[in-house]
Structure 1
Amino acid sequence: MLQFPDSYFEDEVRDGFYVPSMIKRAWATAMDVLCEVDRICCKYNIKYYAEWGTLLGAVRHAGFIPWDDDLDIGMMRTDYRKFCEVAPKEFNESFQIFTFNTQKDFHHFLARVVCKNRICFEDEHLRRFHGFPYIAGLDIFVHDNVSNDAMLQEKCEKTAEYVITVADAIGDGRLNKAQETEALRRINNMLHVNCTSIEDKEQERIQLYNVAESVFASFEHEKCMEMTQMMPHSLYGRHLRIPKKFYEKLVRIPFENTTIPVPAGFDAMLKRRYGDYMKLVRNAGGHDYPFYESQKRQLEALMDFKLPEYTYDEKKVVREADPEELSGYRRYLKDYLDNIERQIEEIGHIQDTEVIKEKLVDVQQEVIDMGNLIEKIKGEGTESVRCLEHFCDVIYTMYQGNNADIKAEYDNVRRILEKDIIEKKEVLILVSKASEWKYIENVWKKYKEEQDTEVDVAILPYFYKEYDGSIKKEVNELGNFTTDIGAIDLAQYDIALHHPDIIYIQNPFDNENKAIGIEKKYYSDRLKCCTNKLVYIQSFTLEEFNSSNEREYKNMGCFCTVPGVVNSDEVYVQSENMRNMYIKKLTEFAGKETENIWKDKIYVKPDWMKNEGYNVVKGNGKIKILFYTSISGLMQNSEIAAGKIKNVLDVFKQYSDKIEVIWCVQSLVDTVMEDINRNLSEQINTIRDKYRIEEIGHICSDRDKDILNSCDAYYGDISSVVQEYRNADKPVMIMNYEV
Structure 2
Amino acid sequence: MQFTQDFFKPEIREEFEIQAMMKRAWAAQMEVLQVVADICEENGLQYFADGGTLLGAVRHQGFIPWDDDIDICLKREDYNRLISILQRQLPYGFVMSGMYAGTVRLRMAANVSHLRVIADETLWNFNDYMKYFHGFPYQRVGIDIFPLDYIPVEAKLADIQKIMMIQGMNLLENWTTLEKAGKLEESLQEYEKLCNVRIDRQNTKNGLWKLTDAIASLCHKEEAEYITNYIYWIEKDSYKMKKECYDEAVMLQFENIQIPVPAMYDEVLRAEYGGDYMTPVQGAADHDYPFYGHMEEELKKQIKAVGFDGSVEEFCQEVSSGRLWV
* TM-score in terms of structure 1 length: 0.39
Distance across 1 between alignment mates of 2:99 and 2:42? 25
Identity of aligned residues (%): 29
Distance across 1 between alignment mates of 2:320 and 2:42? 35
Could you give the per-residue CA deviations for residues 362-414 of structure 1, whole angstroms, max 9, x where no partner exists?
xxxxxxxxxxxxxxxxxxxxxxxxxxxxxxxxxxxxxxxxxxxxxxxxxxxxx
- 2:116 equivalent to 1:106: no
Task: Show the counterpart of 1:275.
Answer: 275
Letter in 2 for 1:122: F
Distance across 2 between alignment mates of 1:268 and 1:19? 29
Could you give the per-residue CA deviations for residues 426-470 of structure 1, whole angstroms, max 9, x where no partner exists?
xxxxxxxxxxxxxxxxxxxxxxxxxxxxxxxxxxxxxxx554567
Distance across 2 between alignment mates of 1:208 and 1:304? 43
Letter in 1 for 2:116: R
Once the two structures are TM-superposed, the CA of residue 219 in structure 1 deviates from its matched residue by: 0.4
Distance across 1 between alignment mates of 2:237 and 2:180? 26
- 2:176 equivalent to 1:148: no
Task: Show the counterpart of 1:94.
Answer: 93
Could you give the per-residue CA deviations for residues 660-699 of structure 1, whole angstroms, max 9, x where no partner exists?
xxxxxxxxxxxxxxxxxxxxxxxxxxxxxxxxxxxxxxxx
Task: Show the counterpart of 2:215.
Answer: 215
Letter in 2 for 1:42: E
CA contact (8 A) 1:120 1:133 kept: no
Once the two structures are TM-superposed, the CA of residue 109 in structure 1 deviates from its matched residue by: 0.5
Letter in 2 for 1:289: Y
Distance across 2 between alignment mates of 1:180 and 1:290? 34
Once the two structures are TM-superposed, the CA of residue 237 in structure 1 deviates from its matched residue by: 6.1
SS class of match (1:225): strand
SS class of match (2:252): strand
Task: Show the counterpart of 1:266.
Answer: 265
In the alignment, structure 1 segments of 5+ residues that lack a partner are: 312-464, 472-739
From 156, 167, 170, the equivalent of 1:165 is 170
SS class of match (2:230): coil
Equivalence map 1:102-141=2 (5 Å): 102=101, 103-104=107-108, 106-117=110-121, 122-134=126-138, 135-141=140-146
Go from structure 1 to structure 2 and tell me whether the alpha carbon gap of 1:165 and 1:44 turns closer, same or farther (over 3 Å shift). Answer: same
SS class of match (2:17): strand
CA contact (8 A) 2:135 2:319 kept: yes
Go from structure 1 to structure 2 and tell me whether the alpha carbon gap of 1:115 and 1:265 turns closer, same or farther (over 3 Å shift). Answer: same
Equivalence map 1:417-432=2 (5 Å): none
Q: Which has the higher contact order (CA 8 A, sep 6+)?
A: 2
Go from structure 1 to structure 2 and tell me whether the alpha carbon gap of 1:182 and 1:7 turns closer, same or farther (over 3 Å shift). Answer: closer
Task: Show the counterpart of 2:5.
Answer: 6
Letter in 1 for 2:10: D
Task: Show the counterpart of 1:285.
Answer: 285
Equivalence map 1:238-637=2 (5 Å): 238=237, 240-272=239-271, 273-299=273-299, 467-468=319-320
Distance across 1 between alignment mates of 2:169 and 2:181? 14
Go from structure 1 to structure 2 and tell me whether the alpha carbon gap of 1:217 and 1:80 turns closer, same or farther (over 3 Å shift). Answer: same
Distance across 1 between alignment mates of 2:283 and 2:185? 45
CA contact (8 A) 2:92 2:123 kept: no
Distance across 1 between alignment mates of 2:321 and 2:224? 55
Once the two structures are TM-superposed, the CA of residue 187 in structure 1 deviates from its matched residue by: 4.0
Go from structure 1 to structure 2 and tell me whether the alpha carbon gap of 1:194 and 1:225 turns closer, same or farther (over 3 Å shift). Answer: same
Distance across 2 between alignment mates of 1:105 and 1:256? 28
Once the two structures are TM-superposed, the CA of residue 16 in structure 1 deviates from its matched residue by: 3.3
Go from structure 1 to structure 2 and tell me whether the alpha carbon gap of 1:267 and 1:169 turns closer, same or farther (over 3 Å shift). Answer: closer
Larger Rg: 1
Once the two structures are TM-superposed, the CA of residue 137 in structure 1 deviates from its matched residue by: 1.9
Equivalence map 1:694-713=2 (5 Å): none
Letter in 2 for 1:152: L
Could you give the per-residue CA deviations for residues 242-295 of structure 1, whole angstroms, max 9, x where no partner exists?
221221211111111111110011123223423222222222522222221212
The two structures, once aligned, show a CA RMSD in angstroms of 3.1
Distance across 2 between alignment mates of 1:294 and 1:217? 35
Go from structure 1 to structure 2 and tell me whether the alpha carbon gap of 1:13 and 1:164 turns closer, same or farther (over 3 Å shift). Answer: closer
Distance across 1 between alignment mates of 2:63 and 2:257? 12
Distance across 1 between alignment mates of 2:262 and 2:142? 22
Could you give the per-residue CA deviations for residues 597-627 of structure 1, whole angstroms, max 9, x where no partner exists?
xxxxxxxxxxxxxxxxxxxxxxxxxxxxxxx
Go from structure 1 to structure 2 and tell me whether the alpha carbon gap of 1:11 and 1:168 turns closer, same or farther (over 3 Å shift). Answer: closer
Once the two structures are TM-superposed, the CA of residue 93 in structure 1 deviates from its matched residue by: 3.2
Letter in 2 for 1:13: I
Go from structure 1 to structure 2 and tell me whether the alpha carbon gap of 1:84 and 1:115 turns closer, same or farther (over 3 Å shift). Answer: same
What is the aligned length?
A: 312
Go from structure 1 to structure 2 and tell me whether the alpha carbon gap of 1:20 and 1:169 turns closer, same or farther (over 3 Å shift). Answer: closer
Once the two structures are TM-superposed, the CA of residue 309 in structure 1 deviates from its matched residue by: 5.5
Distance across 2 between alignment mates of 1:274 and 1:83? 30
Distance across 1 between alignment mates of 2:277 and 2:175? 41
Once the two structures are TM-superposed, the CA of residue 101 in structure 1 deviates from its matched residue by: 3.8
SS class of match (2:266): helix
CA contact (8 A) 1:49 1:260 kept: yes
Could you give the per-residue CA deviations for residues 510-543 of structure 1, whole angstroms, max 9, x where no partner exists?
xxxxxxxxxxxxxxxxxxxxxxxxxxxxxxxxxx
Distance across 2 between alignment mates of 1:289 and 1:190? 38
Task: Show the counterpart of 1:600.
Answer: none
Task: Show the counterpart of 1:31.
Answer: 30
